[in-house]
Amino acid sequence: MTWSKFLKAPPPLSITGLLAFMERWKPGSTHGFEPATAGQIAALAKSHGGLDALPPVYREFLATMGASTGGLRLKFGTTSISVLLEDLKDHQRERPDSRRHLKFAIGEDDYNGRHPDDFFDLSRPTPDGRDAAILRIHEEDLVSGKVAAERPFPTFSDWLRSVIVSRVCLEVGPKQHRRYYDLGPKPEAPAKAYEFFTRLGFSLTELGASSEVIPLEHPERGAIALISAPSTSIPSTGLELHARDKAQQLLLNEVIQDHKHELRGD
């Protein structure tokens, strides 16, 4: 698929595809997932305008692993629906506009203090209606409006794509079997990287993709590449590369070094 065709119809994320990808790369990695009940999902959606207010991909997530993600750690905190519902019982503190912001993850406390929470911005759905923009911020700061929210990923789907590839592919095996490349700030870098890797025989995975987060895989080489477009937090295109076999990793590293200027759009 050419870059122009990809932009016209980027394949969406489905939770079924996510599970298939995880089990293929790391068998047993979905064990321990526990779904939220229909009653829990309805209770969470109630104050946000009902079930239809929840982005469909998030409803699929809740119906698959909303109660527990097992051994999969998605963030410094929790996405557990029981914790989210318990949090809603605190009627003493001021809340952000529930018709616009839906909290889907709560930050945990550690020696650095409390990590920020994650919210959907329901006023900014994706064009296909399956997802919405997300932001990361402490709830009290979102209410006050005095602190700008972080936007580490454009959407919930992109957040899942990036985290799943990291946890299931990039963080397994020896460190020498993975590399990170900074492809610079030029806006054409993601397209250049996509076209380069598709010419090498890489293709899209069950995780789908967007113009911001693009997982690609080469089954014969046992390799995965994750292209991340520049964002407000990281103003450069990033490329993460992992091969199961050390020889394949070294070969791919050499190919990338030889074409670094092309990938950067220089």
Which has more pLDDT, 174 or 211? 211
**Is the CATH code 3.30.310.50 the one for domain 173-264?**
yes
The fold adopted by the segment(s) 13-156 is SMI1/KNR4-like (3.40.1580)
> Are 95 and 105 spatial neighbours (Cβ–Cβ below 8 Å)?
no
Strands 238-243 and 178-182: antiparallel
State the average pLDDT for the chain.
Answer: 93
What is the tens place of the pLDDT at every residue in 50-93?
999 999 999 999 999 999 999 999 998 999 999 999 999 987 88
Give the three-class secondary structure for 77: strand
Which H helix or E strand runs over 240? strand 238-243
Spatial distance between the Cα atoms of 219 and 244, rounded to a whole number of angstroms: 10
Residue 111 confidence (pLDDT) above 80: no
Spatial distance between the Cα atoms of 53 and 123, rounded to a whole number of angstroms: 10
Residue 110 confidence (pLDDT) above 90: no
| Runs of H (alpha helix) within the chain | 3-8, 15-25, 38-46, 56-65, 81-88, 139-144, 156-165, 189-199, 246-258, 260-264
Residue-range domain boundaries for the chain: 13-156, 173-264
pLDDT, residue 62, reads 98
pLDDT, residue 176, reads 64
Residue 173 confidence (pLDDT) above 90: no
